[in-house]
């Protein structure tokens, strides 16, 4: 048995040991994990986003993980993703905003007034949403639009639409091409690529209400001015200027092989154009169709960054908002993104510093363009508007454009309700 002296000695040692544990435990606890920002981006943007975001992360003491996904599924997967694997930031198109803001998937941003002044109003409006008070839900970083690309060995840059039409048909006759213009449609139609022709004939998608917001009840697909000009589409169909059978691959192939002189396309095809031997091009805005009273302009897609609702749950919302609403909206960041992805920056100060002549030309062709409507009802427009073009430009068996577009408007109105 232990005597009293021995017992006291043991107790004393236990107290000292406990004290040591209490003293050293805080110093030996595991270090706090470094915050990680998870970004979803598509294949075209992943390299540029990774490079620019990591420069920001290095200065903030955080990590960035860029997950490459297909562009379309980014929006869809955000609805069903589990919180623990969800992104804090996504890269996507401005016309997602209506749906994502209304279902709470993305959160409002509040960049400084000085930062906002560096962007054209339409770029900020493209990422803004609200029925009463509009809020900014995304940081615009790049403009995407199609322009007119001319093969200068086959034709001259047109001075008018009639001039382009005449030169295009002359080349078509020589090369025995299926069409005069390389503008893609395909069996499902392509309202996006046809928009310069649609706007040039005075077509539009939605009007605006007294508050200046898009009004889904004011559909302009078959407005009076457009219907008055719709006979031109029948003429273009008859002479083979455009054909609905020409899809994306056919359109590009005809142009790159010198079968057509004019190509309606965007900066995503710059790489293929540049590496085609002997192909000299000039990129310009679309020529105006005389007599319509309307200007031929492209749809504008504004690409940008959005902070998701999951960032707060991950404890990184302040970092995510700093990355998106501050860092990614600065000229230096936008220039780096533009240089890596052949896109014209949304920031006007960055735009003035773009050195690439082709990227600058696409930027110039965007002036006056129409941002794709970002309200949810736009999803009811694409199919019917594209089909209206298909029905009236498929060559033999086509129906008159006026009747086709009236039908499209009725169908769209029914879907919107």
Helix/strand/coil (H, E, C) string of 161-176?
Answer: HHHHHHHHHHHHHHHC
Rounded Cα gap, residues 205 and 388, in angstroms: 13
Which is nearest to 303 in space by CA: 113, 97, 101, 66? 97
Which is nearest to 356 in space by CA: 283, 287, 264? 283
State yes or no: pLDDT of 73 exceeds 70. yes
Which is nearest to 267 in space by CA: 320, 315, 338? 338
State yes or no: pLDDT of 279 exceeds 90. yes
Write out pLDDT tens, residues 298-344: 999 999 999 999 999 999 999 999 999 999 999 999 998 888 888 99
Tokens 């060559």 belong to residue: 395
- Of residues 25 and 255, which shows the higher confidence score? 255
Cα 259 from chain centre: 30
State yes or no: pLDDT of 241 exceeds 90. yes
The pLDDT assigned to 9 comes to 44
CB-side neighbour CA atoms (13 Å) of 55: 12
The pLDDT assigned to 126 comes to 93
Is beta strand 262-265 parallel, antiparallel or unpaired with respect to 135-136?
Answer: unpaired
State yes or no: pLDDT of 7 exceeds 80. no
What Å distances lie between residue 11 and 8, 22, 24, 91, 403, CA to CA? 5, 16, 20, 63, 99
Q: Which residues contact 282 (CB under 8 A, 6 or more apart)?
A: 149, 150, 152, 157, 361
* E strand or H helix that includes residue 209: none
The pLDDT assigned to 133 comes to 81
**Predicted structure pTM score:** 0.86
Write out pLDDT tens, residues 134-175: 899 999 999 999 999 999 999 999 999 999 999 999 999 999
State yes or no: pLDDT of 292 exceeds 50. yes
- Of residues 375 and 17, which shows the higher confidence score? 375
State yes or no: pLDDT of 16 exceeds 70. no
State yes or no: pLDDT of 2 exceeds 50. no
Do the beta carbons of residue 364 and residue 351 sit within 8 Å?
no
- Of residues 30 and 325, which shows the higher confidence score? 325
């Amino acid at each position: 048995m232990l005597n009293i002296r021995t017992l006291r000695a043991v107790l004393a040692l236990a107290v000292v040991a406990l004290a040591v544990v209490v003293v050293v435990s805080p110093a030996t606890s595991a270090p706090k994990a470094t915050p990680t920002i998870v970004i979803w981006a598509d294949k075209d943007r992943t390299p540029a986003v990774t490079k620019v975001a990591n420069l920001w992360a290095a200065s903030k003491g955080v990590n960035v993980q860029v997950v490459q996904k297909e562009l379309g599924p980014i929006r869809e997967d955000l609805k069903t993703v589990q919180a623990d694997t969800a992104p804090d930031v996504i890269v996507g198109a401005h016309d997602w905003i209506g749906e994502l803001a209304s279902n709470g998937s993305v959160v409002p941003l509040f960049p400084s007034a000085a930062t906002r002044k560096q962007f054209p109003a339409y770029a900020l409006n493209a990422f803004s949403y609200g029925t009463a008070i509009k809020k900014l839900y995304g940081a615009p970083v790049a403009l995407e639009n199609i322009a007119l690309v001319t093969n200068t060995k086959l034709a001259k840059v047109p001075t008018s639409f009639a001039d382009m039409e005449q030169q295009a048909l002359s080349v078509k006759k020589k090369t025995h091409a299926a069409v005069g213009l390389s503008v893609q449609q395909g069996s499902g139609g392509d309202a996006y690529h046809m928009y310069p022709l649609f706007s040039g004939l005075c077509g539009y998608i939605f009007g605006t209400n007294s508050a200046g917001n898009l009004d889904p009840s004011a559909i302009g697909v078959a407005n009076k001015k457009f219907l008055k000009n719709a006979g031109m589409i029948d003429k273009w169909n008859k002479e083979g200027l455009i054909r609905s059978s020409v899809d994306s691959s056919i359109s590009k192939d005809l142009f790159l092989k010198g079968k057509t002189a004019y190509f309606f396309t965007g900066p995503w095809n710059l790489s293929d154009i540049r590496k085609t031997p002997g192909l000299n091009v000039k990129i310009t805005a679309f020529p105006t169709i005389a007599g319509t009273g309307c200007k031929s302009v492209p749809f504008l897609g504004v690409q940008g960054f959005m902070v998701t609702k999951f960032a707060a749950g991950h404890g990184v919302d302040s970092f995510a908002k700093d990355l998106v609403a501050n860092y990614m909206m600065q000229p230096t960041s936008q220039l780096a993104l533009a240089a890596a992805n052949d896109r014209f920056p949304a920031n006007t100060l960055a735009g003035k510093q773009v050195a690439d002549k082709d990227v600058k030309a696409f930027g110039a062709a965007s002036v006056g363009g129409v941002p794709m409507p970002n309200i949810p009802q736009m999803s009811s427009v694409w199919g019917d508007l594209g089909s209206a073009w298909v029905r009236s430009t498929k060559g033999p068996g086509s129906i008159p454009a006026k009747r086709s577009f009236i039908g499209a408007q009725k169908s769209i109105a029914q879907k919107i309700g």
